[in-house]
Structure 1
């Protein structure tokens, strides 16, 4: 976000290019749309491509990026309502007009991105973790390692091979891609509606959400990811909207693909290896983010960001 175009933004939420001696606008226009169901809300950005020397904790590198001077909606709003200075795409797509992702990965050397989130005992978000470089999770905690599927858009994608909740079980083979900008799970009717039925949720036309009583017992959902089973507890696919009602974080899409939103990272770790185009899933232990952050401070091959949430 360009501070000259958004003077009302807080200092830490925009870039003041006049303060940089190395900033250069390439005068190349760029635009991007963030659409449903891959994002929580629809938005769009417009601007120009630029270059500058950037720093990311212990890294310093030159990068090419999009400087935004016009927006529609709230493109930098995170899934939990927090605002950021911008967005960095980490799909496998190499056709972007900007190359910030590639500059970051080249600077760190080991081209691996890992994501994780921790909750409290009552399901409230405690912290999120973004790791670049060396995999921060112990090897014995590995659940799955698999090649990402080729697909349109070069998204990180694998197969969902089974779905189970309560007495419902379905053995399927449907591609599933990841989106950190979605808070929930999206998919075709044949995937979503049985889960809605298992929750006894009803569609609220005004809210455009599936609603069910918060006090009712809820079975976890077990997803088979290329054969390896991961458990999603109620906090991964539901959240309260008021004292009595909870929202099932499911949405229906027209394409034959599941979208796994950021809640899939709750209490586990996912790593995306750009060198080998592999997806890895790890078990995580309580308070692992704090330990990982401490270890990364001593490791030249790792950069770790941990954001803590207070309730």
Structure 2
């Protein structure tokens, strides 16, 4: 599955053996949803008619033994179809084609519930291929003891990737949580400084704050990370999914290239998931658009 921003998501869905009875299903649709081994006899003259002595939903072998004609057995099968399957290669050439590192590029998979299909995936990383890395840092109060270590981690990551490619860029952003009750105190003074008991003021909370577009200057990255102050929210989970989605969608502002795109997500706690927004009266799903204001803050986190 391709996500916004060219990120590739591979879902491994467990199948597993389970005891299944086909007989209790009284319609073709319910029958074929029950299990891949279930089939339906659509022959009107199947033994017993409406008062069938043999169930119309059963494995194909049992239906045929009970007298269902083979052409009347309904047992749809899934399929795998390659929509784009170009050879692996470095690209370039007169047309400036992009390198191909993953094969196949597009696959259509049709499945019955519980059915398994397989296909082969090949990957070849090109030596020296450009890399874009975005460092997404949790600035909630519980991270205060880890902040210095995370500063060093970002610098070390940059140095390590520099050994793999000469074309490396790095960006930086932070997140805390939605600035809405009950995630964050909405008292104006607390929004400005969510932890007034500290000698050094905390930074205002935000669901996502884009701080540095992708750059090849490691000094600029290091300085921007070290300049950050910790923030705070009220509950344990953080708004990391809001931040991840905006990093993927705001491609021009982030500065993503047609390169290997990496997102480093640094946090010490769980994240809010779909449905948690109801606590703050937020029921609309994300609209898959970029919503960063002039300061790089996700300005619509209170809506979606």
Rg larger in 1 or in 2?
A: 2
Which category describes the TM-score, using the shorter chain as reference length? under 0.3
Instruction: Tell me the TM-score normalized by structure 1.
Output: 0.22
* Larger strand fraction of residues: 1
Determine which structure has greater relative contact order: mean sequence separation of CA pairs < 8 Å that are 6+ residues apart, divided by chain length. 1
Instruction: Tell me the TM-score normalized by structure 2.
Output: 0.22
* Larger helix fraction of residues: 2
